[in-house]
Amino acid sequence: MNQVSTSQGKETKVETTVDYLPAQNPFHKAYAQETTLDVVRTEAMSYFGVADFTDRDRHEFHLEFEGGRVDYTQTLEQLLGEHRKGVHLDLVEQVTAGGV
C-alpha cells in the first residue's frame, strides 16, 4: 500500500515496476522518493540476473522512462514530481560493437 506524505512526516513510497523483455515477470518494489535511479537500476539488474559486461562487444543495461534513458543521479521524486506514487521503467540492453 502507498503511504501518503503528511505534516506528521510519513514517508511517501513510490511503487516501482521494471520490465525486462526476456523476463516473464517484472521487478516490483516500493522505494522512498529519495531513492536514486542508480539504486533502482542495480536492484533490478540483480533481480533479473544481468550485469554490464564486455566480450567482443560491450553490453550495458539502462533504465528507460517514457522512451528516454534516465539520469541515474536523479531521485524518484525528481523524475516524477512529489505527487506521483508509481512508476513503470524498462531495463534495456545496449550492445556496442567492438567493446574492447
Q: Where do the domains of the chain lie?
A: 13-97
Task: Encode the chain (100 residues) as per-residue pLDDT tens digits.
Answer: 344 443 345 567 999 999 999 999 999 999 999 999 999 999 999 999 999 999 999 999 999 999 999 999 999 999 998 778 899 999 999 999 985 5
- What is the pLDDT at residue 24? 94
Residue 94 burial by CB count (10 A; 0-12/13-18/19+): exposed, middle or buried? exposed
Distance separating alpha carbons of residues 40 and 49, to the nearest angstrom: 14
- Fold exhibited by the domain 13-97: Ubiquitin-like (UB roll) (3.10.20)
Buried b (16+ CB within 10 A) or exposed e, 56-77: eeeeebebebeeeebeeeebbb
pTM: 0.84
